[in-house]
Amino acid sequence: MSYNPNPLYAAPEDWRAYSGVLSRRVLAFILDYVIVALLCIPAAIVLFFLSIVTLGLGFFLYPALFVIVAGIYFGLTVGGPSQASLGMRAMGIAIVRVDGRPMDFMTAIVHLALFWILNSILTPLILLAGLFIERSRLVHDLLVGTATVRTA
């Protein structure tokens, strides 16, 4: 994981930037959710002590802990300068916006929320869309205006 001084913002036109992206996305998904699950452990400890300080009110956040940790994780990593989470960096992919602007925190959160909503409605069938849509984009990529490209 090295720092790239010239990050890729716009989606390239070269077809090679999109070859093998779907399988890399699946592996990056698995890695990212292992990382989020591991991050939930210290977050739960911090929330426990916060709950004691707030006289038990913090305990109401436990059911949403995974969503909060995942939102912060993906918002900071995908919305950051590398435009990729740790799992995506390990797989050599990044998310770029089609309009050429850099990813920001809110766009990354909306991308994640749409992924969760569409995945709960359409189940894993959203992965099949990537086989037929140009640039191997998924449904939530189309709605947000992003594409996933290879960086290596």
- Count structural domains, the chain: 1
The residue type of 77 is T
Residues of the chain falling short of pLDDT 70: 1-12
User: Are 89 and 83 in contact, with CB atoms under 8 Å apart?
Assistant: no
Tell me what pLDDT residue 9 has. Answer: 58
Tell me what pLDDT residue 8 has. Answer: 56
Position 11 in a domain:
no
Tell me what pLDDT residue 128 has. Answer: 84
- In terms of DSSP H, where are the helices of the chain? 21-53, 65-78, 86-91, 105-122, 126-132, 139-144
Structural domain harbouring 138: 18-143
**Token match 């707030």: residue?**
54
Tell me what pLDDT residue 78 has. Answer: 96
Position 3 in a domain:
no
User: Are 127 and 22 in contact, with CB atoms under 8 Å apart?
Assistant: yes
User: Are 84 and 78 in contact, with CB atoms under 8 Å apart?
Assistant: yes
Tell me what pLDDT residue 126 has. Answer: 78
Tell me what pLDDT residue 117 has. Answer: 92
Write the CA distances from 126 to 35, 86, 135, integer angstroms: 23, 22, 14
Position 44 in a domain:
yes
Position 82 in a domain:
yes
